[in-house]
Each structure stands twice: as C-alpha cells, then as structure tokens.
Homo-oligomer: A and B are copies of this chain.
Amino acid sequence: MSRVLYDLCGIDERLRFSPYCWRVRYALAHKGLEVETRAWRFTEKEALDFADHDRVPVLVDGQEVVTDSYAILRYLDRAYPSAPLLGDDLGEARARFFKHYAERSLAPAIMRTIVMDLFNAIHPDDRAYFRESREKRFGRTLEEFHSPVKGLTQLDTALAPLRGRLEEADFLDGDAPAGGDYLVFGFFMWARCVSSADLVSNADPTYAWLERMLDLHGGLGRQAMRITDIEGAYR
C-alpha cells in the first residue's frame, strides 16, 4: 500500500490525538480508502522535510504529498470524487466556515478545559517544545491558562449553533456525515484521546451526535486508544 499518513502520537505510539489528523482519518474512511498511519512527534521536524512542512497531518498518496488537513480533504475530493467531503461551489465555500468555527470557537474552549491533560499525554521529549510554543501563544503559563470551569462555560456558549443544527438533523451535513462533520468532530476526538473530561452533557443534542460520530466507519473513533487505556498514564 502506498498511502501513508503522518499522525501525531503521544506518550504511547498508539495514542493519536491531533484534531487535524483525526479530520483526515475520518475523511479517508469516508472515501473508503485504506491508510497506513506513521507515528510522529512534535519535535521530529526533519522527518517531514520531504514535504517541506513542519506539522502533521501529511498525507503521502502514491506520488502526491499533501499537507494541512483542509487541503487534504480538498485533495481527496479531487482525486476520489465519489462520496464528496467538501463538495462544490456553495458547499465548499460554507465548509470553510465549519473549519473556522471548529478552530476559533470550539478549540480555544476545549484547550482551556484539557490543556494539562494534553500536556500529560504528550511524549516527554516533546513537552518542552509544547510548553514553550503554547505559553508564547497564550501569553501565560499552561497552569495559568488551564481552567476547566472557564473552558466549559466558553464551550457551552460556543456550542449554541451546533446544538441548533443537531436538534433538526442527525449530522451537520444532513442525514449522512460529510466534511462539515469531520472538520468539527476532530476536536472532540482530540479531547477524548487525552482526557476523561465530560465536555457535553448527555442531555445536549451534541452528545448524541458525538456518539454517532464515534460509531461511524466501523467505530473508528470509539476504538481509538485513550490515555485512560494506558496503565498509570492518566493523572
């Protein structure tokens, strides 16, 4: 098989938690495409030199090398047109909004809730890099930024439009999931893999959607290793 996805791993090689990589894992499964994932850590920059990039996901599909999760979804629609992820015209334009909603509304709220769990899940060799880059971004220490109560309050507000949509449809993209769902869901996989925090109450329509997303594609998300599966790792 000549399809390889470079995929962020943590303290265990099998612990894969990047929200951007999860978008791609779901997108590949949506297209029915097999992939070999290759564990990668934040500080292994030189391993991605061939792609002229310093972050995952990186997809190598035969002769094609594609970086950036959104660009990979677009590439997959071009190369494998059946079962569209982003679609054309208005569909594709609107998918961009889901990307920004996930990255700018949900991700900061989730990050605030789980950052110390995330730090704990990262490979020890990557922790200094993670701490330095994130503390610079947040303008404070990880410990100061970490606030589950603030994060969950922020998340509750940010979920309002998702909730509205999921009250009327099983998936963001309608009766069946597609790129819009994957662009958003990746961030919930991120939290699920590194933390046992309950982000969404089971009375929330978002909860039932998360359960459906975990079951998709043969339980792709539900079967993924979580930090709680590693003895002694979660504290």
Contact A161 B105 (CB under 8 A): yes
Q: Which of B89, B101, B154 contacts A101 (CB 8 A)?
A: B101
Q: Which of B104, B162, B173 contacts A94 (CB 8 A)?
A: B173
Per the 8 Å Cβ criterion, residues 175-213 of A in contact with B are 178-180
Provide the residues of chain B in CB contact with A87, threshold 8 Å. Answer: 89-91
Contact A173 B93 (CB under 8 A): yes
Q: Which of B97, B99, B157 contacts A97 (CB 8 A)?
A: B97
Provide the residues of chain B in CB contact with A165, threshold 8 Å. Answer: 96-97, 100
A161-B97 in contact given A90-B178, A178-B90, A180-B90 (Cβ < 8 Å)? yes
Docked complex Cα distance between A89 and B154 (Å)? 31
Chain B proximity mask over A165-176: 1 for CB below 8 Å, otherwise 0: 100110011100
Docked complex Cα distance between A97 and B104 (Å)? 16
Docked complex Cα distance between A104 and B168 (Å)? 14
Provide the residues of chain B in CB contact with A179, threshold 8 Å. Answer: 90
Docked complex Cα distance between A180 and B105 (Å)? 18
Docked complex Cα distance between A89 and B85 (Å)? 12
Number of interface residues of A (CB under 8 A): 35
Per the 8 Å Cβ criterion, residues 89-126 of A in contact with B are 89-91, 93-101, 103-105
Docked complex Cα distance between A180 and B147 (Å)? 34
Contact B164 A103 (CB under 8 A): yes
Q: Which of B93, B96, B104 contacts A163 (CB 8 A)?
A: B104
Contact A180 B101 (CB under 8 A): no
Question: Is A148 interfacial (CB 8 A cutoff)?
Answer: no
Instruction: Tell me, rounded to whole Å, the shortest Cβ–Cβ distance linking A53 to chain B.
Output: 19
Chain B proximity mask over A135-177: 1 for CB below 8 Å, otherwise 0: 0000000000000000000100110111111001100111000
A157-B157 in contact given A89-B87, A90-B173, A93-B180 (Cβ < 8 Å)? yes
Closest 10 pairs (CB-CB, A-B): A100-B164, A90-B91, A94-B94, A87-B90, A104-B160, A93-B174, A91-B91, A101-B161, A100-B161, A93-B173
